[in-house]
Copies of this chain bind each other. A is one copy, B any other.
Amino acid sequence: MPDANRQIVLDRLPGAEKLHPEHFRLVETAPPQPGDGEVLLRTRYISLDAANRAWMQGATYRSALESGQVMAGGALAEVVDSRAGHLKSGDLVWADTGWQDYAVLPAKRLSKLPDMQPETHLLSVYGVAGLTAYFGLLECGQPKAGDMVVVSAAAGSVGSIVGQIAKIKGCRVVGIAGGAEKGRWLTDELGFDGALDYKDPEFKRQLRGLGGVDVYFDNVGGDIFEACLFAMNNHGRIACCGALSQYDGAPPPHGPRGVPGLIVTKRLTLRGFVVMDFDDQREKALADLQGWVQSGQLKVSEDIVEGLENTPAALVGLLAGENRGKRMVKVR
């Protein structure tokens, strides 16, 4: 039987404040016991995502978080006790364990993940981040060879993969990220054609200097979304993946200018999506991603923080943009 179960509780909803580690507290409880049809899971790696913060704002594609609950979050977890036929001890699953050592969940929505080394790839390129990049770019963005593709939060888990897939598809790719160092990483390590620093006073001018954007993969919303809208070519596509700039603080009083005027005059298509919408095409996507990783065309970037107790600070850091690639917390 497991020892104690450490849990990180969302002690207080941040509301319009910036998220801070003190919004959380660590508690210890007895490990839970699985009932019939349930499994006891031990958390190995917790996935950190900007969406974690969005869940604190209200209902989105999932119900809003409440203060006092164990912080929600997806994780790579190991079955340690199974009361369900299709899972056995030692199996790895992807589950919303929350931020804790152990969780009991109904087994029926869980499925065994394939064996893979390193197993962290199940959380990055073969997990939500990789699939989000894949479907958002290819289904919503509809890139064609030669297109100018721009992606924001380009050094993040999704953006870093979006840009590389766009290169594989023969596009010209420019990433938007904060700071010159991230920009160099995008061009020198990941093969982006260019990078723009949104903190640079010349950012908008540089964006216009690209000569027209065919596909914009938006992870951030807000001012960067607006600037990209004005930089779009006629008949361009915008994949709306997230609105990172809007999650951590007060909601903006207004939206971006140019909506819907520029959507009409430039004949743009904007499409919002959530990765689950494409579950029926998952096998094909994973096969493509694996092929590209194995051939070296797609580099996997993981940013691993050690220790459950550091999860709050790791999320706060992610919201401030300190990660490169997929951030996760190694629990054990």
Contact = CB atoms under 8 A, between A and B. Distances in A.
B243 A253 contact: no
Given A255-B258, A258-B255, A268 B272 contact: yes
Interface stretch (A4-12, A114-122, A259-267): A259-267
Interface in A237-256: 238, 240-243, 246, 251-256
Given A260-B240, A263-B240, A271 B269 contact: yes
B261 A259 contact: no
Contacts of A225: 259-260
A112 interface: no
Instruction: Give the number of times this chain occurs in the complex, counting copies.
Output: 2
B61 A265 contact: yes
A221 interface: yes
A273 interface: yes
A255 B265 contact: no
A60 interface: yes
Given A255-B255, A259-B259, A260-B225, A269 B270 contact: yes
B272 A271 contact: no
Nearest to A237: B271
A147 interface: no
Nearest to A58: B265
Nearest to A220: B260
Interface in A74-109: none
A116 to B, nearest CB: 29
A268 B61 CA distance: 12
Interface residues of A, number: 37
A261 B225 CA distance: 11
Contact of A264 (B262, B268, B269, B272): B272
A153 to B, nearest CB: 13
A274 interface: yes
Contacts of A264: 240-243, 272-274
Given A243-B260, A259-B259, A269 B267 contact: no
Given A269-B269, A272-B268, A273-B264, A255 B252 contact: no
A218 interface: yes
A226 B256 CA distance: 12
A298 to B, nearest CB: 24
Interface in A204-237: 218, 221, 225-226
A189 interface: no
Contact of A277 (B218, B267, B277): B267
Among the interface residues A221, A242, A272, which one has the most CB atoms of the partner chain B within 10 A? A272
9 contacts: A221-B259, A221-B261, A225-B259, A238-B260, A243-B260, A243-B264, A259-B259, A263-B270, A265-B272
**Which A-B residue pairs are the 3 nearest by beta carbons?**
A254-B254, A263-B272, A255-B255
Given A243-B261, A263-B272, 6 more contacts: A243-B260, A243-B264, A246-B261, A254-B254, A254-B255, A254-B256
